[in-house]
Amino acid sequence: MAFYEENPQGIGKADLVAAILSYNDADSIGVAVERVSRGLKDHFGDRNAVLINCDSHSVDGTREAFFQAPSDVPRIYLSTETGGSGKGLSLRNLFEKVRQLEAKAVLVLECAIDNLTPYWVAALAGPLFKGTAFVQPLYVRHKYEAPLTSALVYPLSRCLYGRRCRQLGSGEVAFTGAMAETFLNAPGWSDAVSSSGIDVWMGMVAMTARVPICQTVMHAPRLRRSKGQAPELAPQFRRVLTVLFDLMVAYGDFWKRVKWSKPTGLFGMNGRETEVPPTIDVKVARLHAQFLEGFAAYEETWRKIFEPATFNKLMEVRSLTPEHFTLPSQTWATMLFDGAVAYRDADAGARAALIDCFLPLYLAKVVSYVKRTERMSIQQAEDYVEAICEVFEENKRYLIDRW
């Protein structure tokens, strides 16, 4: 894959790569460079480190701002080619550059994070020098934050691959140089991965690579700067479910051998004070209405892909009012398992439509989750997420039998 590169210092080797992902972030990349540089100096001053700006062809002067920011750390600028953008493409460029630099450790941070601190550099890269190959951050989260992770990614990835990685796909990540090579050769690369599906994809590829994985406790929420418009739910949902199903097809021989799950190693239990996450509001009535609207478009598809008992349960769920709404986790798991089987057997065009039909069902699960946890503390809601995961694991036999 071709990428645009500026390497004014002619850097040819590095032990540690700190990558900052950007897209039209000229206003903020200077701060990110400063904080990451301080983290590298404070925590990895003895390492041969390099800062790489992985840009998605910004047009606002991000590249110039990156080079102008005050820092002693050597710098390289990489960008996707004209017409190409997306986090996945930027990271693929990074994987190739890591291979060229023969780097041992890589951490990836998004430029658009407001509360990024030098400690994040230590929290993410530290485990890589203690035998870990893939590091996933564990942020402080409100119970309604990232429902896609709580209701879909965590239960399904844990049940399939047997590793408990609570916030897979949360944005930041760290991995060894060897893992970068694994990513370059891994299956399931798609348009979804080229975009924001890359986060979930990397986590699941790491889970199947039989390498040490850990979660690093960040002691802080992840506060992403708004760029004027909220991220759209539907495209993000499509990308994530596409990646989940694509990798189920690619790694069937692996996940069929997994039974139950194991905890993941923890890093960063250092007594730092833990911040309180901002409160999140969920508009339950709107989500419930979107679920009901889905019947007009997808009822026949659902009837075809779900086993009769599951479809009948869905029709029961349809009749519930928002006040008494619940979508049982077993029904949710079974629908996803049936959907994965249908996806495996479908051609490319039919696969896209099949992914779309799951959006109203996912919204129903979010409504159900919010109703169930509305009087719960964050910790109690976490227990409920664990219970969802156990239901997925208990029903895995059904998936294996259908597969």
CB closer to other proteins out of 74 and 212: 212
Among 170, 261, 290, 373, contact with other proteins (rule: CB under 8 A)? 261
Give the contact letters, 326-365, x = binds to other proteins (CB under 8 A), - = no.
Answer: ----------------------------------------
Between CA 392 and CA 370 the distance in angstroms is 19
Between CA 180 and CA 189 the distance in angstroms is 14
Kind plus residue range of the DSSP H or E element containing 65: helix 62-68
Between CA 123 and CA 172 the distance in angstroms is 11
Extract long-range pairs of 276-280: CB within 8 Å, 24+ residues apart: 276/140, 277/139, 277/140, 277/141, 277/142, 277/145, 277/221, 277/378, 278/142, 278/221, 278/223, 279/142, 280/142, 280/143, 280/144, 280/145
Among 262, 272, 286, 397, contact with other proteins (rule: CB under 8 A)? 262
Closest distance between other proteins and the C-beta of residue 167, in Å?
12
230 belongs to the binding site for other proteins (CB under 8 A): no
**DSSP assignment of 223-254, as one string?**
-BPP-SSPPPHHHHHHHHHHHHHHHHHHTHHH
293 belongs to the binding site for other proteins (CB under 8 A): no
CB closer to other proteins out of 77 and 161: 161
Give the contact letters, 208-227, x = binds to other proteins (CB under 8 A), - = no.
Answer: --x----x-x----------
Closest distance between other proteins and the C-beta of residue 255, in Å?
9
Contacts of residue 394, defined as CB under 8 A and 6 or more positions apart, other chains included, come to: none
Among 5, 227, 260, 272, contact with other proteins (rule: CB under 8 A)? 260
Between CA 178 and CA 184 the distance in angstroms is 10
CB closer to other proteins out of 102 and 383: 383
Sites for other proteins among residues 160-179 (CB under 8 A)? 162-164, 166
Closest distance between other proteins and the C-beta of residue 331, in Å?
22
The answer to whether the beta carbons of residues 105 and 17 sit under 8 Å apart is yes
- DSSP class of residue 278 equals P
Nearest CA-CA partner of 179 in 114, 120, 134: 134
Closest distance between other proteins and the C-beta of residue 269, in Å?
6
Among 10, 45, 83, 257, contact with other proteins (rule: CB under 8 A)? 257
Closest distance between other proteins and the C-beta of residue 17, in Å?
27
Closest distance between other proteins and the C-beta of residue 263, in Å?
5
258 belongs to the binding site for other proteins (CB under 8 A): yes
CB closer to other proteins out of 216 and 242: 216
Residue that has been written with the tokens 């029903």 in this structure: 395
Sites for other proteins among residues 121-150 (CB under 8 A)? 138
Between CA 399 and CA 244 the distance in angstroms is 14
Among 77, 119, 183, 254, contact with other proteins (rule: CB under 8 A)? 254
CB closer to other proteins out of 138 and 156: 138
CB closer to other proteins out of 4 and 398: 398
CB closer to other proteins out of 12 and 271: 271
Q: How far apart are the first and last CA of the chain?
A: 35
Between CA 79 and CA 67 the distance in angstroms is 14
Q: Which residues bind other proteins (CB under 8 A)?
A: 138, 162-164, 166, 210, 215, 217, 254, 257-266, 269, 379, 382-383
